[in-house]
Chains A and B, each alone.
Chain A
């Protein structure tokens, strides 16, 4: 009896989460896959016709937006590493007893809604606002200069909104580095720079990897930043998909685009994992 119970326990534990995923992830996924292969309209109904055209049309009409999304995702991820790594490094090694305070401060903006934080940038960066206004008044910037409604604003917004997801895994990796390893490097006459380059950096890479995974994917498929901070010619694929679902109500094209994006991201992640030589992708990401 107790043996049976022991055998069943893992299943009992996985059951709630598994059910949740089955209902809210697997089922919609199948519905969406089926939709992407249907043809028809809301009025006339949809029929499953193996209509691969939705994929071909989606790629033909929106390849610009797909490529742009990948580029914006990459650019924002790079920006986040550049900004986030020093922050993570500083908290991990110089944070002392206040580490948790700094981490809390890092997460503080997350207590405010994502959309609201993005909209607040409209106030900060408005053409005659509190940042640009004075700079224009003293002649440092030309009158026509603007930040909002440019690709830079979108990329910067993406970097800002996902930054903690980049910093936290990097911090965890750095924090785990045994101080004795660093002492050993110094005992072997490594300069501080060499210590960083040959000891700290390699040991932090799993964290960077996880950070990239957690920020590149949502940044690439994001649509809030482009719609709030972007202008003309900054539309990302997320905006297109949202528009196809809600405005045009062209569900097959929207579903096909979603799957195309998902496939691209999955392939990208696995190539990336291979290139970095990390075997257990998911294990690293789970940290």
Chain B
């Protein structure tokens, strides 16, 4: 039990419900929404160049924010179970600023959310939300490229500037946080069911081990599967080239054709893992702990020695937002260490605010008994506060610059899962 990434289930105090459909489960439901997108996309592209110099950014910011005022309300779109249902942070925010918040858990999955909002944003219409949380992804890159996001005025983000962890200001998908700032991060690693797997896996090669033939689960998401293929051939996903993609794809195809992979899963991998249909699989860190807590299972999550990918869910303000000032005030509020700490205590994902640790330690000192123990565990957890050494093992997704690259990427990896 000296593996730092394995956690006691008690860590997840309060998380009695699973985050259903966190990413892909609702892909089925999204198809109808795309129908709407089609009608809108037949005309012209909206691709704009990212401002290249800081002066350009400043003028964009200036142009957008001048004359904007506080309206006293903000509509906030987020993923399910990404906040204590009692919303203590939002209540505190309203008490302090007088800005009321309508919080809706409407984002089930990046692609379907994007399919839903893209036509409205393209038409310059309101999406009814002033603030949303989107995972770094091809869709996020498109939101930025298509000019659908508000350039953030860092002058209005004093807490962010003071408290954000330095690595979160240099994310490959938005260096300098021009359009986005992190809400929380999580990892993609390997999960296994210790009932069937005797030796804890330490490396990606475990997913290619013939002794797990027909019992390995992989993700159907092209980016997720690509990351694992790249790690398996010893390439850092974020630094990968199209030639690396081909090699990784060959490795993944070999894994499929030798019958090792049972199936390519979306969010639905957790139940088969718990039931023993699959024994070892790709997994998102939070899911495994939530499953253990809600269903009493004893599934394990490991970050392989080659490293793992870290994804970040980000705050952003859509260009058509009615209340941008209230939205940016709320963003900054979540960068107060006490607030970030209180959020992390509940959701147990990586917080972008290192100082939140002290806030949690302080909370622990005030608490007693089991609560105190849990809070102390959270403060020490590498899954909430990864150390520099942990971060050194974490990589970001493959960054796809333009739609040509995206097309190429998909043409390499999609055939693997849609064979």
Contact = CB atoms under 8 A, between A and B. Distances in A.
Interface stretch (B40-48, B299-307, B391-399): B40-48
Given A232-B261, A232-B262, A245-B34, A45 B145 contact: no
B81 interface: no
A1 interface: no
B62 interface: no
B214 A146 contact: yes
Contact of A246 (B27, B262, B272): B27
B277 interface: yes
Nearest to A227: B28
* CB-based closest 6 A-B pairs: A45-B45, A41-B403, A44-B45, A45-B44, A43-B47, A231-B263
Interface in A1-48: 28, 31-32, 34-35, 38, 40-46, 48
B414 A248 contact: yes
B44 A126 contact: no
Interface in A41-61: 41-46, 48, 61
Contacts of A251: 38, 41
Contacts of A243: 414, 418
A129 interface: yes
Given A149-B262, A232-B256, A235-B418, A247 B45 contact: no
A100 interface: no
Contacts of A44: 45, 47, 403
A38 B142 CA distance: 20
25 contacts: A31-B42, A35-B42, A40-B45, A44-B45, A44-B47, A45-B41, A46-B42, A46-B43, A64-B419, A128-B276, A224-B28, A231-B261, A231-B262, A232-B261, A232-B263, A233-B419, A235-B418, A239-B418, A242-B31, A245-B31, A246-B30, A247-B410, A248-B407, A248-B414, A251-B41
> Which of B41, B115, B214 is packed against the most chain A CB atoms within 10 Å?
B41
B402 interface: yes
Given A128-B277, A227-B28, A228-B268, 5 more contacts: A28-B35, A45-B41, A115-B28, A231-B262, A246-B115
Given A127-B277, A148-B277, A246-B31, A43 B42 contact: no
Contacts of B45: 40-46
A65 B414 CA distance: 13
A233 B418 CA distance: 7
Nearest to B416: A232
Contact of B214 (A40, A144, A228, A250): A144
Interface residues of B, number: 48
B41 A42 contact: yes
A10 to B, nearest CB: 31
A34 B112 contact: no
B229 to A, nearest CB: 15
Contacts of B410: 247-248, 250
A260 interface: no
Interface size bracket, A side: 35 or more
Interface string B139-165: 000100110000000000000000000
Contacts of A200: none
Given A35-B38, A247-B410, A126 B275 contact: yes
A204 B38 CA distance: 43
B39 interface: yes
B8 interface: no
**Chain A contact surface mostly:** mixed
A209 to B, nearest CB: 30
Interface string B9-44: 000000000000000000110110011001101111
Given A46-B41, A235-B419, A128 B31 contact: no
A13 B336 CA distance: 64
Contacts of B142: 42-43
Given A35-B38, A232-B261, A246-B30, A43 B419 contact: no
Contacts of A230: 263
B222 interface: yes
B323 interface: no
A51 B256 CA distance: 34
A240 interface: yes
Contact of B146 (A43, A148, A232): A43
Given A43-B145, A248-B407, A126 B41 contact: no
B264 interface: yes
Interface string B383-410: 0000000000000000000111011001
B377 interface: no
A122 interface: yes
Given A31-B42, A246-B34, A247-B410, A43 B403 contact: yes
Given A31-B38, A122-B272, A232-B262, A240 B418 contact: yes
A65 B111 contact: no
A228 B263 CA distance: 10
Interface string A215-231: 00000000010011011
B92 interface: no
Contact of A45 (B30, B43, B115, B268): B43
Contacts of A240: 418
B209 interface: no
A232 B419 CA distance: 7
Contacts of A248: 406-407, 410, 414
Contacts of B262: 146, 149, 231-232
B147 to A, nearest CB: 10
A283 B105 CA distance: 48
Contacts of A250: 407, 410
B358 interface: no
Contacts of B295: none
B111 A246 contact: yes
Interface in B271-296: 271-272, 275-277
A3 to B, nearest CB: 42
Interface string A93-117: 0000000000000000000000100
Contacts of A61: 415
B111 A247 contact: yes
